Every structure is written in C-alpha cells, then in structure tokens.
Chains A and B, each alone.
Chain A
Amino acid sequence: MTTGTETPVESGAGLPEDSHQLSAKLRGAAVAALPPERLMPDRQPAYVASWIYVFGALTLSALGVVIVTGLVLAIFGPSWWHLSTTGLFVNSLHMWSVEVFFFAMVVHLWGKFFMAAWRGRRRATWITGVVSFVVSVGAAFTGYLSQQNFDSQWVSTQAKDGINSTGAGAIFNVTNFGQMLMWHIVLLPLVVVALVGVHVLLVRLRGVVPPFAPPDAPATEAKGTPDSQGEVGPNSQAVPTEGRS
C-alpha cells in the first residue's frame, strides 16, 4: 500500500509484504518460466536458418487473416458477403486464407513429424499442435456449413449421415444452421486460438527442436534436450529471428 506522500513502486516487482498474493505468485511464476527475452527472442539457433522453419509462422499469419476477415464478415452479415463486391472480396479472402492456413499447417506438420519434434520434453508442444489441427478441421467444416448457399446445403446433407453414424448427430446436428454458425464463429475459434496460443508459448518455453545429432554425439544432443536457452546441438550459434517457429 502507498499513501499520497510515498513514491509509487514503478519496477513492477511489488512490495515484499505483498509477495504472498496470488497475482504476485502468478507473475513470479510466469516471468520465471518465460522471461521477456525468451518470450520475444531476437535470436534463434543456427539450424533454424531453413525454409522448413518458416511454415509455423506462415500458419500463424494465415490464422490472423482468417480471424480478421471473419470479424468483418460477422459485422456486415450474409447479404453483404453474398451480394456486394466488397463483401464477395472479403468472403473470398476469408476462404483463401483458410486454404493458406491448412496448406502451411500441413507442410509444418510434415516437417515437424520428420524432425521427431516431440523430442527433448516437447511432447506437449507436439500434442497441442496435433489437436489444433484436428479442431481447425472442425472449424473449417462448420464454416462450409455456414456459407448460406447451395454448397453448404450439399455439404450438410452429405455430412449428416456420417455424423449420425458416429452417434454424435443427436447433439451435433449439421443441418441446424444456427448451431453450426455458433460452433463456427464462437466455440471452435476460441478453442483454436487457445490451443495455438499454448502451442506457441510451449515453443518459446522448450525451444525449437534441433536436428538429429550424429550417432557419435553426446546423449544430450541426441535427445534434443533444451538447455537454459532452448538451444542444443552442434549448430547452436544464434542467428536473428524473423518470426520462424
């Protein structure tokens, strides 16, 4: 606590007597786990200097365009995106950014699979990525159902038999436009953004997985275990970061 005559604490560290507070404990744990230089790094290990590491950031960029164009579509509504030239353009941007999103995500997935990117205590990073992919498929599917055109009618009537055969049709009715729209614009985007956020934080926490080490390398390098900077392996000299992950 401060009085009017005292100088406010500007360091953000708080007062010693406040260290037992939940917010202070959470802040301390967050800063200890992800200090600013690790959360927003300007250097990456040398092995990141490859085009295959670009596709994670490309996926994130496409997701940003998907969200922004989706917000614009939500503001103006179906008659706008079906009938006006600007609406058709934004609608197309939304659809094509989804195409780029999945394209980049699949290349990112292949790259990480062949790197065995779950090595070095990165299992949670891998799993959140895989679950993000699966949930994104659901988000795209409900998007096709929300187009309000003959295509969405065709997709929904084709999909209902498949969904019903799983037993999920009772609670997930693909011919219920209102339900599918809510899944598409509220539930699934929240889950995708949350999972992607955790995924990126885990990449920052554990570091980018290094290449496979030669057979005669020390055990630490072979397992890809991150050191304090998340950098291991024979080529751990740093290079500037340009949004790669």
Chain B
Amino acid sequence: MQMLGAVKDSLVGSLINLTGPGKYVHWGFIQISVANLVVIGLMVIVFFAAILIPFRRHGGRGR
C-alpha cells in the first residue's frame, strides 16, 4: 500500500512539480497565475470545440 502511494506520488510529481512558489505571468498591470491562465485557455478551447465538433443525431431525425 505504501509502495502504491509512492508510485502514485512519483507519477503525479513527474507530470506537475507542485513544490515551490506558484508561477505567475506579468503583462503590464495584468498579473495572473499560470494555473488560472491554463484553465482559461482550456475553457476557450472547449468553447470553440463545442461549436465546431458536430453533435451526434439519433436515427437521422432533426435538422
């Protein structure tokens, strides 16, 4: 069980290093954390994907 936890920690740790202070982006008077910037970017991607990806229709009915 302890070994499983260590494997999990190393896997997560290899993806994102959560040790240390947060990283921020400074652009003029705008300051935003990288984490928040990533979430906003994902929302923009999902928004355009939701518009562009065709919606599956049932049984050939609909438009």
Interface residues of A (CB under 8 A from B): 46-47, 49-52, 54-55, 99, 103, 106-107, 110-111, 235, 237, 239-240
Chain B contact-residue range equals: 10 to 19
Q: Is the interface of A mostly helix, strand, loop or mixed?
A: helix
Q: B43, B46, B63: which contacts A49 (Cβ < 8 A)?
A: B63
A51-B53 CB under 8 A given contacts A103-B43, A107-B43, A240-B58: yes
A88-B50 Cα distance, complex, nearest whole Å: 33
Binary interface encoding of chain B residues 20-52 relative to chain A, with 1 for a CB under 8 A from any of its CBs, else 0: 000000000000000000010011001101110
Q: List 24 A-B contacts (CB under 8 A).
A: A46-B62, A46-B63, A49-B57, A49-B62, A50-B50, A51-B50, A51-B51, A51-B53, A52-B47, A55-B50, A99-B39, A103-B39, A103-B42, A103-B46, A107-B43, A107-B46, A107-B50, A110-B47, A111-B50, A235-B63, A237-B61, A237-B62, A240-B58, A240-B61
Contacts of A99 in B (CB 8 A): 39
Report the minimum CB–CB distance from A45 to chain B (whole Å). 9
Residue among B43, B47, B51 facing the most chain A CB atoms (10 A cut-off): B47
- B49 near A51 with CB under 8 A, answer yes
In chain A, what residue has the closest Cβ to B56? A49
Report the minimum CB–CB distance from A12 to chain B (whole Å). 33
Contacts of B55 in A (CB 8 A): 49-51
Contacts of A46 in B (CB 8 A): 62-63
In chain B, what residue has the closest Cβ to A244? B55
- B47 near A107 with CB under 8 A, answer yes
- B50 near A52 with CB under 8 A, answer yes
Given A46-B62, A52-B47, A237-B62, 7 further pairs, Cβ under 8 A: A51-B51, A51-B55, A55-B50, A103-B39, A106-B43, A111-B47, A239-B57
